[in-house]
Amino acid sequence: MEFPTIFSVTENEIDLNDLLARITLTSTGAAAIFTGMVRGKTTRGDAHETGYLEYEAYIPMAEAKMKQVADEIRMKWPVVEGIAIVQRIGKLYPKTPTVLIACTAAHRDTGVFEAARYGIDRLKEIVPIWKKEVSPDGEFWVEGDYIPRAGE
Amino acid sequence: MNHVKLLFFATLRDRAGTKAMELDIPAELTIQGLKDKISNEYPNLRESMSSVLITINREYAFDDALIPPDAELAMFPPVSGG
């Protein structure tokens, strides 16, 4: 049987309950969910406040790379059942969820936590999405530091 | 000549002043050749060429890759999603 894999870039609100239901099978007993949100106040490192973040994506490539991340998760953790990878784009204000990675499995001790962690780490490396930070002091594009290698 | 489409995102779009352009490029042009061409013809983008990521048909491409006819190319900075 085919395990469900969901990947999307959307301007709509991320609906955790809906996504979770779609990756829960009768054999599922555990889900590890990571979600990130806009942080209004940063204290670690360069302390600053954020008015909002404006996200953009190269949508067709982003969805293809999300599929690739899901494929990599399945190679590393074949026990993972459902996978959902969703990035919200547009203008997003503090406290708003921006990204969700969820992996389901039969049991919690199967690597499902590590699978979700891997998913968010890889998304931040290879999926073509960018955010512009906007505050009363001005605006700037946030740039990552990962340079993909051949085949990624 | 090959006809290609070039998309820009994030800082590259701001500097280019456009989301996309169509280009006629020599057959057998490499990614390095494209960077040189863009540096010469678009001074606003010259500074970006040392750290830019480039894709060919939605896959990451490197300096010695040849650009095929009708390619969809994109230029952007290291990604920052999440």
What tens digit of pLDDT does each residue of A4-20 get?
999 999 999 999 999 99
| DSSP secondary structure letters along B20-71 | EEEEEE-TT-BHHHHHHHHHHH-HHHHGGGGT-EEEETTEEE-TTPBPPTT-
What's the whole-number mean pLDDT along residues A89-110? 98
Q: What pLDDT shows up at residue A137?
A: 87
Residue range of the domain that includes B80: 29-82
The count of structural domains within chain B is 1
Distance CA B82, CA B73 (A): 24
A75: in domain: yes
A49: in domain: no
Interchain pair B60, A145: CB under 8 A: no
Closest residue in B to A125 (Cα) is B79
State the best of A50, A59, A61 to mutate against chain B, taking most chain B CBs within 10 Å.
Answer: A61
A134: in domain: no
Residue reference for tokens 């790379």 = A65
Q: What pLDDT shows up at residue A2?
A: 84
Interchain pair B81, A62: CB under 8 A: yes
Distance from CA of A119 to the nearest CA of B (A): 11
Q: What pLDDT shows up at residue A10?
A: 98
Distance from CA of B58 to the nearest CA of A (A): 5
A90: in domain: yes
Residue range of the domain that includes A64: 5-40+56-127
Which residues, in sequence order, are bridge partners of residue A134?
A52, A139
- Which of chain B's residues have a Cβ under 8 Å away from the Cβ of A96? none
Task: CATH number of the domain at B56, please.
Answer: 3.10.20.30
List, as own/partner pairs, every contact residues A26-29 make where C-beta atoms lie below 8 angstroms and the sequence separation is at least 24, other chains included: A27/A81, A27/A106, A28/A81, A28/A82, A28/A104, A28/A105, A28/A106, A29/A105, A29/A106, A29/A107, A29/A108
**How much is the ipTM here?**
0.96
A140: in domain: no
The count of structural domains within chain A is 1
Task: CATH number of the domain at A85, please.
Answer: 3.90.1170.40
Interchain pair B60, A130: CB under 8 A: no
User: Tens of pLDDT along B13-63?
Assistant: 999 999 999 999 999 999 999 999 999 999 999 999 999 999 999 999 999
B80: in domain: yes
